[in-house]
Structure 1
Amino acid sequence: MPVTATIHAVVFDIGNVLLEWQPERFYDAAIGKERRRAMFAAIDLHGMNDGVDRGDHFGDAVAALAGRHPDWRAEITMWHDNWADMAAPEIPHSVRLLRALRADGVPCIALSNFGIQTFEIAQKRYPFLHEFDQRYISGHMGVIKPDPEIYRRLEEGCGFAPGKLLFADDRIDNIRAASTRGWQTHLFDGPAGFAGRLVGEGLLTPEQAA
């Protein structure tokens, strides 16, 4: 099916769109909900991860945080040693949608907050991460969503007008930042809804989107 006049390319977030990213769920299973809640209240693990997504070295960032919080050293170190178990599993229907779009000639672009080293880990586990037509990975860019700069740089490099992009992301702040720039957007809350959007836009048939 040809690309519609409305949408010329589809932009995918990765975490919680193509693969699950639920660190709290991992820690609940590993150390129990009560201890996990205490740790996340005491330590800004997500802030550390934002630094990694901006390009900080993954191992160094985790080690530095563990050094500042010796009472939680073992648990913090798990963020590094068990990272692949936190970024799991893939979302099979979303991966099928990515592949169906590309098979039908629709350019697919990744725009994701991801560290340099963590993206390398993910690529080894998830072959579909090699299948995008273009990739904009925050760790390599030194800027994360929803900073307007990361959207501007995608616009500058991708070759498509902002209004011709359809962007799927699970975070409303990221969606709003893209909408402000004129992108068409889809707040991702599951692959079935996104499949319906792609069918509605004329990018896939219902059979292709199944």
Structure 2
Amino acid sequence: MPKAVLWDFGNVIVRWNPRTLYDKIFPDAAECERFLATVCTLSWHAPTDCGVTFADNVAALVEAHPHHEPHIRAWHERWGEMFSGPIAETEAAIEALHARGVAQYGLSNISHETLDSTLAMSPAFGRLSGIVASGFEGVMKPDPAIYRLCCERFGLAPSDFFFVDDSERNIAAARAMGFDTLHFTDPAALRPALEARGLL
């Protein structure tokens, strides 16, 4: 049985979706989808999660798409508008685990520039005893190195962790290293999974 829970952040503790912002910028749904599929893509954003500054990443994209400059800059300037609040089931689970004395940690692909503002979005983040944030480490999920770093930093073996993430790719990488995992797709399935492992 695992001894600790390792939480992803986006779409596990707090809801994040670029469309939450860009639906406001592009009232036409098709135009919004084209922009997110061809300009501000998740692949373009990834370097910021690995330590590249927003300023540098945005500047390079503006150079390639100058007619979209204000829309590209909104990715950083209006970052908080991509979030639509905490996930209540996860917050409740984190509080319940804390009450039982279960160790909890965070592992997130997140920019070093947005970590603090993200942590301010829910008091549940305050229950985490430690965090590994990719933007500070220069490596991100699903690279095995970041999972090994969690084990070293928190003094636990892979099998000691119950890792919760919304990305199937990240889950598969962790599972291959011996982590117990939950692919987070339905908030209602979280508490039963914790109970099944004796954590709650």
TM-score range, shorter chain: over 0.9
1:156 maps onto 2:152 in alignment: yes
Query: Bigger CA drift: 122-131 or 68-77?
Result: 122-131
Distance in 2, matches of 1:49 and 1:42, equals: 12
Give 3-state SS (helix, strand or coil) of 1:89's partner: strand
% identical equivalent positions:
34
Identify the match of residue 62 of structure 2 among 58, 66, 69.
66
Deviations 1:100-151 (A, max 9, x none): 1112110001011000011122123333323311101110110110011101
1:147 maps onto 2:143 in alignment: yes
Distance change (3 Å), C-alpha of 1:131 and 1:59:
farther
Bigger fraction of residues in strand: 2
Residue 89 of structure 2 corresponds to 93
1:23 maps onto 2:18 in alignment: yes
- Deviation of 1:55 (Å): 0.6
Query: Bigger CA drift: 122-131 or 16-25?
Result: 122-131
**Normalising to structure 2: TM-score of the pair?**
0.93
1:51 maps onto 2:47 in alignment: yes
Aligned length in residues? 199
Residue 175 of structure 1 corresponds to 171
**C-alpha contact 1:175 1:187 (8 A) present in aligned 2:** yes
Distance in 1, matches of 2:9 and 2:70, equals: 28
RMSD between aligned residues: 1.5
Distance in 1, matches of 2:150 and 2:65, equals: 37
Residue 166 of structure 1 corresponds to 162
**C-alpha contact 2:20 2:81 (8 A) present in aligned 1:** no
**Normalising to structure 1: TM-score of the pair?**
0.89
Unmatched tracts of structure 1, length 5 or more: 1-5, 205-210
Distance in 1, matches of 2:96 and 2:37, equals: 42
Deviations 1:5-56 (A, max 9, x none): x110001000000001111243123313121122123225312321010011
Query: Bigger CA drift: 124-133 or 143-152?
Result: 124-133
- Deviation of 1:191 (Å): 2.0
**C-alpha contact 1:17 1:190 (8 A) present in aligned 2:** no
Residue 107 of structure 1 corresponds to 103
**C-alpha contact 2:49 2:112 (8 A) present in aligned 1:** yes
**C-alpha contact 2:4 2:104 (8 A) present in aligned 1:** yes
**C-alpha contact 2:49 2:110 (8 A) present in aligned 1:** yes
